[in-house]
């Protein structure tokens, strides 16, 4: 316009790395935000949606000090998620990185957590917790569909959740480093969430039917020897090593930082544990950093 100077914000080379933390009440969002703070992120819980773009501009002006930000978004703040998605798209257009992490847990786990803490559900404090959980799931369904990553905390302790997030989102790690997680489980307890590769070990000889081995786990040398000397197990491990040696470099070439591999057997206590332990050793020998979690090893 005549007589007016239009000021266009300067595009800065340094992008803001923005992580949105949301999800179901009781799923660990508060602990997640603390984990991001420990990982070096600038963290704000429940920033009003109307201030989000202004906040991004302020971070842009201070880009040398603030480049990694985690924001907690809570449904109790009256957020309209259609507006949230629209604002985040505008942030992306400005050249910033935006990821939405949606935290959840199984219904029975959420109910147990509220019961243990003796807290009512924040959305329906005068109703049974189960009703509040289901109501919140319905209200957050649209946001869940837009999430870049779903994180199920049903089987994670507070410390395991912190370690998971710190490893995967610490901004001072090598950008190209692929974090590999091995998870063992029992099919009788359900397949884990958030897995990229799934392998079934139920065809191997089962120590469960050997009286001396039944009470032990796949971490015991006697069980490992029983499982891993089975010719079928030898062939399985060999082929898995070859497959992963082929696949992992391809995953590293993608814009991803984590790979989760699940190994299952009937109960998640013997065969899957032994096979996953051997794979961890093999991948470590190849130079990869691998974490190993046995989800069902303590279950009967």
Closest CA to 273 of 219, 198, 204, 216: 219
pLDDT value of residue 210: 95
- Which residue ranges make up each domain of the chain? 17-169, 179-294
Question: Between helices 81-93 and 52-61, what is the axis angle to 10°?
Answer: 30
**Most distant CA atoms of the chain, gap in Å:** 91
Please provide the average confidence, as pLDDT, over all residues in the chain: 84
Burial class (CB in 10 A: 0-12, 13-18, 19+), 59: buried
User: The tokens of 9 are what?
Assistant: 């914000």
Supply the pLDDT for residue 287: 84
Sign of CA dihedral 102, 29, 280, 182: negative
Instruction: Flag the least confident range among 2-16, 264-278, 281-295.
Output: 2-16
Position 6 scores a pLDDT of 33
Secondary structure letter of residue 184 according to DSSP: E
How large is the average pLDDT for residues 152-170? Answer: 80
Res 234: pLDDT:
96
Query: What are residue 244's DSSP bridge partners?
Result: none
17-23 vs 97-104, strand pairing mode: parallel
Tell me what pLDDT residue 79 has.
57
Q: Which residue has the tokens 């985690």?
A: 70
The model's pLDDT over 50-89, given as tens digits with 9 standing for 90+, comes to 788 888 888 776 545 678 889 988 766 555 666 788 888 8
pLDDT of residue 269: 95
From start to end of the chain, where are the E strands? 17-23, 42-45, 68-72, 97-104, 149-152, 179-186, 197-200, 258-265, 290-294
Q: Is the pLDDT of residue 170 over 70?
A: no
- Residue 267: predicted pLDDT: 95
Q: What is the pLDDT of residue 62?
A: 58
- Least confident window among 22-26, 29-33, 75-79, 268-272: 75-79
Pull the structure tokens for residue 29: 């969002």
The pLDDT of residue 89: 86
DSSP 6: P
**Residue 138 in 3-state DSSP?**
helix
Residues 255-264 pLDDT 10s: 667 789 999 9
Task: Choose among 277, 265, 268: nearest CA to 297.
Answer: 268
Q: How far apart are CA 108 and CA 8, in angstroms?
A: 52
Q: Give the containing element (helix H, strand E) for 110.
A: helix 107-117
- pLDDT for residue 40: 81
Nearest to 38 by CA among 161, 177, 174: 161
Q: Count the helices and strands in the chain (H runs, E runs).
A: 9, 9
Can you name the CATH fold of 17-169? Rossmann fold (3.40.50)
pTM above 0.95, yes or no: no
Average confidence (pLDDT) over 226-235: 96
Question: Where does the pLDDT of residue 173 fall: very low under 50, low under 70, confident under 90, or very high at 90 and above?
Answer: very low
| 3 state SS of 263 | strand
pLDDT at 129: 87
pLDDT of residue 175 exceeding 60, the answer is no
Q: For position 1, what pLDDT does the model report?
A: 39
pLDDT of residue 74: 77
Residue 156's nearest CA partner among 26, 10, 288 is 26
């Amino acid at each position: 316009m005549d007589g007016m100077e239009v000021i266009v914000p300067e595009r800065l080379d340094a992008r803001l790395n923005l992580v949105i933390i949301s999800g179901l009440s009781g799923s660990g969002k508060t602990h997640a935000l603390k984990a991001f703070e420990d990982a070096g992120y600038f963290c704000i819980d429940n920033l009003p949606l109307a201030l989000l773009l202004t906040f991004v501009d302020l971070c842009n002006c201070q880009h040398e000090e603030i480049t990694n930000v985690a924001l907690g978004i809570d449904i109790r703040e009256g957020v309209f998620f259609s507006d949230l998605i629209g604002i985040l798209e505008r942030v992306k257009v400005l050249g910033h990185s935006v990821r939405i992490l949606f935290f959840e847990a199984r219904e029975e786990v959420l109910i147990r957590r509220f019961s243990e803490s003796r807290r009512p559900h924040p959305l329906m404090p005068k109703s049974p917790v189960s009703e509040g959980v289901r109501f919140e799931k319905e209200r957050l369904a649209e946001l869940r569909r837009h999430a870049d990553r779903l994180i199920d905390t049903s089987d994670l302790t507070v410390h395991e959740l912190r370690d998971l997030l710190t490893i995967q989102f610490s901004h001072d790690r090598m950008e190209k480093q692929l974090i590999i997680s091995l998870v063992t489980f029992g099919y009788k307890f359900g397949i884990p969430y958030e897995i990229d590769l799934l392998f079934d070990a139920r065809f191997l000889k089962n120590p469960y039917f050997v009286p001396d081995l039944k009470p032990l786990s796949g971490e015991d040398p006697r069980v490992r020897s029983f499982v891993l000397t089975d010719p079928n197990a030898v062939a399985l491990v060999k082929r898995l090593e070859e497959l992963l040696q082929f696949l992992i470099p391809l995953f590293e070439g993608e814009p991803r930082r984590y790979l989760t591999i699940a190994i299952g057997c009937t109960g998640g206590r013997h065969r899957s544990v032994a096979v996953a332990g051997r794979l961890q050793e093999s991948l470590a020998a190849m130079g990869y950093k691998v974490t190993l979690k046995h989800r069902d090893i303590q279950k009967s």
